[in-house]
């Protein structure tokens, strides 16, 4: 598999499953067989996740990326053996960091939920080709990650504007929107992955979905108030 197909979700899922270390092997930089430079994308993903790991209190050395050709079997064996020994020295995930497993799981779960938003917010950077290794360490900063998480948006459907058209419900990739015909829609904030699909899907003439940053999302209205009573044409 091309290293360019590596998704942050794969790596977060591995750590969530208590894997102690993740190694990514890619073709040598500037030697992409398909001219897509997917290995640069994998590099940027790795640099981003290392900073995110620092942010949640996970040793970033648990994640490693190395570039080599398919003919360098000896180098591959050496790199993997060294990484394996390094992970053994670091110790089991969570315990070595002296982090409560439940707290770590919650943090990883929250980051996993933010992955779609993070990929959108950092799309331009993730597509950057970094030629100078000296830039790796500071390409993403701790302050940048803190701001990224703090400014993660939440989405709220204004009950006074929702027309229960069902478009946002059908477009939501994780079925986080509850609604039906003539029933005002609401967003399940626990399921929402903050991808913004609902905002783009909502018809402009309704403009029913609000983007909320840094504030609590209003509580959903009661079931009784969600029903929309429409006037029949005959009554009009």
Q: Which of 119, 150, 181 is the last residue of a domain?
A: 150
Q: Which whole number is the average pLDDT over 56-84?
A: 95
For the chain, how far is it from start to end, CA to CA, in angstroms? Answer: 62
Is residue 117, in this structure, part of any structural domain at all? yes
Is residue 194, in this structure, part of any structural domain at all? yes
Is residue 101, in this structure, part of any structural domain at all? yes
| φ/ψ (deg, to 5) at 222 | -70, 160
Q: Are residues 141 and 161 in the same domain?
A: no
pLDDT tens digits for 21-57?
Answer: 999 999 999 988 777 889 999 999 999 999 999 999 9
Q: Which of 95, 119, 150 is the last residue of a domain?
A: 150
User: Could you tell me where the DSSP H helices lie in the chain?
Assistant: 8-16, 38-55, 73-90, 101-121, 123-126, 136-139, 142-150, 167-171, 197-201
Is residue 232, in this structure, part of any structural domain at all? no
Domain encompassing residue 82? 3-150
Q: Are residues 48 and 145 in the same domain?
A: yes
Is residue 234, in this structure, part of any structural domain at all? no
Is residue 206, in this structure, part of any structural domain at all? yes
**The Cα angle at residue 41 between residues 39 and 46, in degrees rounded to 5:** 95
pLDDT tens digits for 155-192?
Answer: 999 999 999 999 999 999 999 999 999 999 999 999 99
pTM for the complete prediction?
0.87
């Amino acid at each position: 598999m091309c290293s360019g197909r590596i998704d942050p979700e794969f790596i977060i899922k591995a750590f969530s499953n208590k894997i102690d270390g993740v190694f990514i092997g890619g073709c040598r930089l500037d030697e992409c067989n398909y001219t897509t430079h997917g290995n640069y994308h994998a590099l940027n993903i790795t640099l981003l996740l290392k900073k995110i790991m620092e942010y949640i209190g996970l040793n970033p050395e648990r994640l490693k990326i190395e570039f080599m050709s398919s003919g360098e079997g000896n180098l591959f064996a050496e790199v993997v053996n060294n990484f394996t020994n390094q992970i053994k020295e670091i110790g089991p995930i969570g315990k070595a960091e002296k982090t409560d497993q439940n707290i770590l799981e919650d943090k990883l779960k929250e980051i996993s939920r933010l992955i779609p938003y993070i990929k959108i917010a950092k799309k331009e950077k993730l597509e950057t080709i970094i030629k100078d290794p000296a830039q790796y360490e500071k390409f993403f900063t701790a302050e940048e990650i803190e701001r990224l998480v703090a400014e993660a948006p939440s989405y709220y459907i204004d009950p006074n504007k929702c027309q229960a058209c069902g478009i946002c419900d059908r477009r939501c990739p994780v079925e986080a929107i509850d609604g039906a015909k003539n029933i005002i829609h609401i967003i399940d904030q626990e399921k929402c992955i903050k991808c913004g699909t609902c905002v783009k899907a909502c018809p402009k003439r309704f403009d029913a979905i609000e983007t909320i940053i840094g504030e609590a999302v209003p509580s959903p209205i009661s079931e009784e108030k969600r029903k929309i009573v429409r006037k029949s044409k005959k009554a009009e």
